[in-house]
Structure 1
């Protein structure tokens, strides 16, 4: 049996792996998680895990190290539509994406966090707002975050980026108007509390995101599962890991499909069955796909955005980043 230390956040679709319901064939796996998924990322980069969930940008930045330590399995534990991740100060005059040009924009955690790469790419592609047309302040949204020193932090020439001061939060800076807008995986607490000073750029972001999917076919992924290169050469091992993650996901998907027959009475959210049916019509039976084929368009788009934003020294391809044994998935 191969012994592996595996790090992942405990999502509903990874729970069967973490609790041992699903085993990885031929592997004695020790699963570990953390309250913050970024802690899993850091531990993987520092060498604590053999296999682990990594934010896509964190993973891709390692390709510019002297020796890139990881390859990716086409498993995407975290994905989310990201038009909803843009917040504005209501006195800033920003009512259209093009209004972001010339403004000071906060960004969660680091310049080019996973939602930020997606949002900046969409703003550039569809609204001609490139990163060099804004000023950037990096930090924590609801709690101060120090600068990450465990991963490369490239900033392209011509882009104005600074870290928030000690003790500052981007949510507070947005509410006071010291920054005009914010791109963040975390929702500002003051917005949740009903502050009139903060709003989403897209009030009906669900409709915007559904239209984006209809037009592009992209359901943006944030994270991937990375494996150390010395293990990636074992085709049987990587296929076993892939199958186990897929089986764990299928257990959860099946619960949703079968739950529809009972109007999802085990779910606390009212009208959830109607939402599930609408999502299923739009996204299809496999609404959270793994594998290279079903995700190549989205992955290639992220790789292009990452390079265009100065976060990758060269334009990477799926063939560069995924383990060879799983390129046919």
Structure 2
């Protein structure tokens, strides 16, 4: 019997290359893994759009938050796999105006903070970070808009009461420099950022130390994206949920081994890998349900308390089909 053809698409994460190049295969599945090109934010957004809406593919990468919202609304059109191609700490994403009033995290209490979106996976973890810092998220005045390109805020549905949209023609960076907001969270560095002399700087320039302590205290290496397959594809061959998860896991192992054996991406990557493994463990980017259950629960709880979803979605519900396969 011929292998079952499955076509998934994701952003161009180096971690997925062993599968994309065919160095790792999935028994019983003829997998085509299409990766985006260039790694730009528009390109990543296009891959997420295709995974959900392109009839030529069977699924792929998705925002954790968007999938959580679908589940909370009763939409189970896609089946989640406990495969997390994108994780990321978040203290590095917190920017302030150089010389401004916000100098330490406690200064954020009751301030005006900008974000690129309200119902985004990163934004869920940003609020978790603020609570870790001891800052009440209820006292924040939130502004939602683009970081550098002046255009209206967009997202899935209207913004909640008390959350402001940036006016057309304005950007969050512009507002931060002008003192109209006090800080902003952004995954890509703002164009006006410079570590030493930019008008925009990081609130915690020592973010590796801050994020390391965050991990020690919370055990969270935040999961932000996961892999989905269309429900119709899964219902015809339920075994694919486990087979694909195992394949992605072996791909993850192959990448980790290659990174450890040839640590030449930067001059001191070997030292960084040793430090990372000493803190997070050798498999510091794990896939699978049990090893990520608590992270998914914390994520869903944070989204629920932020009003993004109207009910709590437990990890077992999040991955129901995978666990039933």
Give the alignment's TM-score, normalised by structure 2.
Answer: 0.88
2:99 pairs with 1:60: no
Structure 1 match to 2:106: 98
Kept in 1, the 8 Å contact 2:90–2:129? The answer is no
Q: Residues 25 and 223 (structure 1 numbering): CA distance in 2 closer, same or farther, change over 3 Å?
A: same
**1:8: which partner in 2?**
10
Instruction: Please state how far the C-alpha of 1:66 moved relative to its aligned partner.
Output: 5.5
Deviation of the 1:126 alpha carbon? 4.4
Q: Does 1:236 align with 2:239?
A: yes
Deviates more, 1:245-254 or 1:134-143: 134-143
In the alignment, structure 1 residue 84 sits paired with structure 2 residue 84: no
Measure the CA separation in 1 of the matches of 2:145 and 2:324: 36
Note if contact 1:94-1:100 (Cα within 8 Å) is conserved in structure 2: yes
- Equivalence for 1:72: 80
Match of 1:299 in 2: 296
2:32 alignment partner, one of 20, 30, 46: 30
Distance 1:97 1:154 in 2: 29
Aligned ranges 1:72-151 → 2 under 5 Å = 72-108=80-116, 110-124=117-131, 126-130=133-137, 132-144=138-150, 147-148=153-154
Q: CA shift at 1:257, angstroms?
A: 2.6
Cα distance in 1 for partners of 2:18, 2:218 equals 32
Correspondence for 2:174 among 169, 172, 175: 172
Q: 2:50 maps to which residue?
A: 43
Q: How far did 1:246 drift?
A: 1.2
**3-state secondary structure, aligned to 1:224:** strand
**Alpha-carbon separation, structure 2, partners of 1:72 and 1:211:** 30
Contact 1:41 1:58 (C-alpha < 8 Å) held by counterparts: no
Q: Which runs of 5+ in 2 are unaligned?
A: none
Give the conservation status (yes or no) of the 8 Å contact 1:306–1:312. yes
Q: Is the 8 A contact 2:72 2:313 kept in 1?
A: no
Cα-to-partner distance string for 1:108-161 (whole Å, 9 max, x where unaligned): 2x213222211112313541421x422222222233465446xx335444x322
Residues 80, 321 of structure 2: 8 Å contact kept = no
Residue-pair matches, total: 316
Aligned with residue 312 of structure 2, among 310, 315, 321: 315
Aligned to 2:272: 275
CA distance in 2 between partners of 1:66 and 1:326 (Å): 18
In structure 1, runs of 5+ residues without a counterpart are none
Alpha-carbon distance in 1 for matches of 2:99, 2:213: 28
2:260 to 257, 260, 271: 257
- Post-superposition shift, 1:30? 3.1
For 1:133 and 1:78, how far apart are their aligned partners in 2? 30
Please say if residues 154 and 311 of structure 1, whose CA atoms lie closer than 8 Å, have aligned partners that are also in contact. Answer: no
Q: Equivalent residue for 1:210?
A: 212
Change (3 A) 1:193 1:277: closer
* 1:245 pairs with 2:248: yes
Give the RMSD, CA atoms, in angstroms. Answer: 2.3
